[in-house]
Amino acid sequence: MKKKLMTLASAVNLTGSGQTIAVGGNSLHRSPATFCHELAGAGRSGFTMVGAAPGYASDVLCAAGCVDKIYFGFFGFENEFGLAPGFRKGCQEGRIKAIEGS
């Protein structure tokens, strides 16, 4: 049986600039934050992201300038914390194309 575990660096190396990625989790829960911090520091860019309710981990990539486009239902930090700041700033500056849908 093929081994399914790998190092964080190996997982990050499976991604390349310009790819479409879906980051798991839901808003502030069960998100792969450590992976996204590593990916943000890897110098990748041009990602198209897909997520029902992306949150902190996806916002790390938005804030780092890795994301060009994102398809989502709601992108924020729950009711208490509002919209994700990296995502919001990227949209306001025209760096991120936001495509909202249900």
Q: Kindly report, residue by residue over 37-83, the tens digit of the pLDDT.
A: 999 999 999 999 999 999 999 999 999 999 999 999 989 888 788 88
Within 10 Å of residue 60's Cβ, how many Cβ atoms? 25
Angle at 75 between CA 73 and CA 76, to 5 degrees: 140
Mean pLDDT of 93-97: 97
Q: Is 18 left (phi over 0), alpha (psi -120 to 50) or beta?
A: left
**Nearest Cα residue to 67 out of 29, 94, 35:** 94
Confidence class for position 1, pLDDT limits 50, 70, 90: confident
